[in-house]
Every structure is written in C-alpha cells, then in structure tokens.
Chains A and B, each alone.
Chain A
Amino acid sequence: MGKDRIPDWLNSSLWSTTPCADDRLHRDSSSSANTSSSAVPDLNAQPPAPVLPPAAASSPQSTVTSPKSEFRDGVDKNSNDTSNDNDQNASSSGVSPDDISRQAQLLTELSKKVVNLRELRRIASQGIPDGAGIRSTVWKLLLGYLPPDRVQWSSELAKKRSEYKQFKQELLMNPTEITRKLEKSSVHENDHSKSESSGLLSRSQVTHGEHPLSLGESSIWNQFFQDSEIIEQIDRDVRRTHPDMHFFSGDSQLAKSNRDALKDILIVFAKLNPGIRYVQGMNEILAPLFYVFRNDPDEEMAAAAEADSFFCFVELLSGFRDHFCKQLDNSNVGIRATITRLSQFLKEHDEELWRHLEITTKVNPQFYAFRWITLLLTQEFNFADSLHIWDTLLSDPEGPLETLLRVCCAMLILVRRRLLAGDFTSNLKLLQNYPPSNISHLLYVANKLRSQAAS
C-alpha cells in the first residue's frame, strides 16, 4: 500500500524549487572568513593562506546565465581557490555558526591520530567546506584510500603511487618498446653497427611469432591495435569532458596535462579490467575526483593526483560497475534494476507523483534516471553543486548507491508541482534539464526520505 496523501512535511512551502541565496552565501563567506582569520589547525604543513593552484585560472561556470549566477559563480570561485577574494559575495553578511563549526569539526577530526570514520562521515554528510584542501583528504578517507590511522598515511601513499607508476609503465608501453625489452632479456644484443661496415644484413628469428601483422590472440601487436580503438574512444571522451572548464578544456599546458592524466588513468583502468573496459561516462565520474585532488593546496598531494584519482576512481566505480556492463542491463543488478528501484522508492514516498509520472504521463524513468544514476548526477548540476552532492554520496554510511537513489527521489519530489501540472513532453524536458536548485535543500529532503519509514 502506498501513501495517498502528500505527507505534511512535504507540503510545506519550504520545498520550493527556487534556490534561496542566503544559505549559500553564508556558507561561502563563513568558510572563506574562517580560513583567512583564525589559525586553523591545518592538516597540511602549509598555512591556509591563498595558495592558488594554477588550475584556478577562471571560474568554471562562465556559461550559467541565470540571474542567480552571481552567487553561484562565487561558490565556484571559492571552490577553485582558497583565497578570500570573494568579491562576488561582497553583499553577504553574517556568518553561519553551523559552517564554522563544521569546518572546525572536520579539521579537528582530520588532525587526530586515528580518524574516527563514523564521526567523519557524520560531519561530512552535512557538506564539506570548499577551502583548505579538506575535501581532497576527506574524500580519500571516505573512499578508503587513506587508512584511518594517520601514521600509516605516508607509507600507504608511497606504496599506492609506485603501484600506479608500475601499471603505467607496463600497460602504456607500445609494442615496439615491448619487443625491444623482450629481446634484451632473451638474446644477447650484438652490436653490429660498429663491426661490419658493409655487407648483407643478418636476419634473425622473430621471437614468439611477434610481428606487427600478427593475428594471434596473445600477440602484443594484435592487442595493441585492438586497444587503439578503445584508446581513441577514451581520447574523444576526455576531450569532451567539461568543455566549459579551463581546468579540462582548451589548449593551455595545464589543461593538456590534465587531459593526459585523465586519459592515462582511463586507459590503465580499461587494460586492467578487460571485463568492463571503458564505457562512455566513466570520464565524467573520474573528472570530479581528479579535479578535487589536483587542486589540493598541498603540493605533494596535488602532484600525485593522478595516482590517487586512479585508486579512488576504482573504489568509487566498484559500487557502480554493474551499471556499466551491458550484459547486466536486464539482470537484477544492472542499471534497469536500479532504475526500477528508484521508481519503487518514489512510489513508496509519493504515490501520487509516481502515478502521475509513470502511468498518466507515461514518462518512463529510463528516460531521465539513466543519466542521473550512471553518471552520479555530475551532468545534472553545475560542477560545484555536484561536488557538494558527492560529499553526501560518499559520506553516507548507507553507501553511495542508496544515497543516490534517495537524492534522485528528492529531485523528483522537489519539482512535483511542475511535474503534476505537466504532460509527457514538459515533464521529460524538465527532468532531462533539471533546473538549478538549492543543493542543501535537496540534500535535506533526501535525508528526510531516509527517516521516513517506507510502508
């Protein structure tokens, strides 16, 4: 049985879709004020003074044209640089005590010898402030990349980074280099360039039948050509990642090196996981991770962003792998099953909306939820907002998938008035271009859905 009436808390006027500026502004100004004034115990050796990573060339959201872009740009700028020149937020006043305390809490937690992950999750799920590289470290902890015990951090990091370096060396070599290596090990290389100055060139045996036109399954050349298709696909997708952000797109040296890093990570992943290879969309899941790690004010961390992103990407994807596997589409772990679960979820919490959406207007959830779920909402909101959503996704003890479903359901519920009034076309249009919203709002609603006992 489902609920026929809309629950009271849902009917309150609070749940309007127009984002309220105040909450946002306060948050940003507070965190920026905090980093500049107090001597915050920083987990990094560097002071929280503005250390502009070169990536902060410009604000990522130059394309947002709505009148709310003013404060939104401020948000993005803040997430870019840890400095406090929040001129766009000059109009803000007052500082939310919540945010200061949250930042302080996080920093205290992070500076402990052994980080209490449950506590960290609790604080992080309310949102991670944008400055001082907190997010980078917190995400690494949440994804299990860094162990809770601080003492082990340096050794773990060194180990993982050298592992990645090895992967790169092994997997990104082209066949010419590989054959040369094999030769060196098996045959003694006679230096005939100096000895015989003229005469017939000696022919030698081809080792293991390895030649460029080889069609053998295990031939490195054959694999190389097969892989080159995937590599081309990865290259194309990486170029298209976040074209509005200077961090990723454009011809600057920085953007190119970032794209190369993304590419290398995805190629290594594809080669290490022949079962799933590369699927379009993985670049979108990788991008926020790499962005956050690369913009860590700690230089050592930022330099190793590629290796760190690789492992965190693997970890994050592990919960969602099945969504990318075509064969599993119709199974009970594949993407269709997850979309059905979302549908069920909606039915439990808001049957009227569910009925209107799926039965009356026949908007099949696959039309909108597919992208929401597979890409973890990176495409539905601007970059800074999706980082905030990811804070919640990663920190929730229920796991990212469950949280994602709740957030998606909350997204639907927040626009229920428009959906209920719309028909197939307008509803589809709305859901495929989800309007910019107040993210804290959204996450609050999503959180509420958890405590509602589903009947």
Chain B
Amino acid sequence: MLVPGKIQHIICTGNLCIKEVQDYLKTLCPDLHITRGEYDEETRYPETKTLTIGQFKLGLCHGHQVIPWGDLDSLAMLQRQLDVDILVTGHTHQFTAYKHEGGVVINPGSATGAYSSITYDVNPSFVLMDIDGLRVVVYVYELIDGEVKVDKIDFKKTTATTHSAH
C-alpha cells in the first residue's frame, strides 16, 4: 500500500534506530522530516522541528522529552512553545488525537508495532494527513489482527496562517 509517488511529505517522530529505515522512507518520498528519538543512532536529527504545509504549521517532536510521557497538558505546553497548529509526537506507541484550544496533538503510534517503554500491547499504525486549505482530513491506518483498518478524522482551522519560513 505504501508506494512511492502518492505522498508528498513524510513526518517522522523518531526512533528509526538505523539508517536503513531512513533510506526506505526516503524511497517513498524525498521530503523527509525526522526528529531524534532516544534510540536513534543518527545523532544529527534535531530534537524538534517545525514546518509549514499549506495553511498549517506543524510541529514535530519525539516526545520522550516531554514528561509525563503522553500527557496532554505538557504536550500542549510544547505546542505553544513551538507555536504550531498541529503537533506530532510519538514515544508512547499508541495512536491518539487530541484537540485543545491551542490546536491538535496527534500521536500516530508505532509504524512497526514495536514494544514501547510503557507497554507490550502495540498495534502498528500510521497516519496520513490530507491538507487542503484550512481543512485537514486525517486518515488513520491501523493493523488490527492482520487487517488494515482505516478511519478518518476531520479537522478545520479557523484562521489562516501568515506564511512564515521554517
């Protein structure tokens, strides 16, 4: 299902661990953004990253730096710090999507289903975002019991961003 040519940007929260995984992701799409997770061998990934796609500002961070892990309020603080509309974090290996006044926090979960520091019970999942103007449709792909299940979430932004370089 993941073939080259369909995806324009890849945002990865980290813990790819080895370079081969980065190369694989590069074949899917040349525009790759990665932040550093605690097990990454590649030391040159940044801790956090922001980018602007369309009308949305996206922030990226692995999440092990935010304590308590996976806590919404702390993540919201990080989001305000980075001043982004959508914050993408990981580390918990659980898919979640929260909305609060500052914006949206998405945790795409673990793409491989690897055991996390917290739990063994992990379903592989990833997320596709279709950004169109002020609207984002988030498609959630999960592998549950050997089958790919797809859900979607709609999210609209109320005000337009002034375009800024990232």
Contact = CB atoms under 8 A, between A and B. Distances in A.
Contacts of A177: 132
11 contacts: A180-B135, A196-B99, A198-B98, A198-B100, A198-B101, A201-B99, A201-B155, A204-B154, A211-B141, A215-B1, A221-B6
Interface in B127-147: 128, 130, 132, 135, 137, 139-141
Nearest to A213: B1
Given A212-B139, A213-B6, A203 B151 contact: yes
A343 to B, nearest CB: 44
B51 to A, nearest CB: 19
B158 interface: yes
B153 A202 contact: yes
Interface string A163-181: 0000000000000110110
Contacts of B101: 197-198
B163 interface: no
Interface string B99-124: 11100100000000000000000000
Nearest to A228: B5
Interface of B: 1-3, 5-7, 72, 96-101, 104, 128, 130, 132, 135, 137, 139-141, 150-156, 158
B153 A204 contact: yes
B128 A211 contact: yes
A206 interface: yes
Contacts of B7: 212
Contacts of A221: 6
A200 B105 CA distance: 10
Contacts of B97: 200-201, 203
Contacts of B72: 198
Contacts of A205: 151-152
B5 to A, nearest CB: 7
Contacts of B130: 176, 212
Interface of A: 176-177, 179-180, 193, 196-206, 209, 211-213, 215, 221, 225
A104 to B, nearest CB: 56
B104 A201 contact: yes
Contacts of A201: 97-99, 104, 153, 155
Contacts of B155: 201
Contact of B150 (A179, A198, A209): A209
A197 B158 contact: no
A206 B5 contact: no
A199 B97 CA distance: 9
A202 B156 CA distance: 13
B57 to A, nearest CB: 17
Given A196-B99, A204-B152, A206-B139, A213 B104 contact: no
B132 to A, nearest CB: 4
Contacts of B96: 200
Contact of B151 (A180, A196, A204): A204
B134 to A, nearest CB: 10
B6, B140, B153: most-surrounded residue (chain A CB, <10 A): B6
B9 to A, nearest CB: 13
Nearest to A222: B6
B101 to A, nearest CB: 6
A180 B7 CA distance: 20
Contacts of B150: 206, 209, 211
A-B pairs, top 8 by smallest CB distance, nearest first, are A198-B100, A201-B97, A176-B132, A203-B151, A213-B1, A211-B150, A211-B139, A206-B150
Contacts of B135: 180
